Amino acid sequence: MYQAGLHLICDCLSHEQEKISDYHFCQTLLNQLIEEEGLCKIGEVYHNFPLGGFTGVVCLAESHISIHTWPEFGRITFDVFLSNYQQVNDEKAQRIYQQLTELFNANILTSHEIKR
């Protein structure tokens, strides 16, 4: 029987200029979390922009994590979507979301939780 997964979406502010200007901090954290949570990474793409900021997408067998930063505005958008196809992953999605907000010391502007 199909059970909807959890999609968490966040728009936030951060004053952590170094962490929102270069993807390496985020990539290191996500790799660690993916391993700890027992998720299956099937691909990733990260890109640092010449004037600062980055975009990154991690494709998971369970779905994806994406992040985009604009250090000139102190802005970050990210989302974590984990399906519940073979097991319930809602708590894993929430832990990853929480760790991302902590990494960036984020001030959350808007947050959405969607079961889909």
pLDDT in tens, 15-58: 999 999 999 999 999 999 999 999 999 999 999 999 999 999 99
Say if CB 93 and CB 115 are below 8 A apart.
Answer: no
User: What is residue 80's predicted lDDT score, i.e. its pLDDT?
Assistant: 98
Domains of the chain: 6-115 (3.60.90.10)
Tell me the pLDDT band of 2, cut-offs 50, 70 and 90. Answer: confident
Say if CB 72 and CB 53 are below 8 A apart.
Answer: yes
CA–CA separation, 45 vs 49, rounded Å? 13
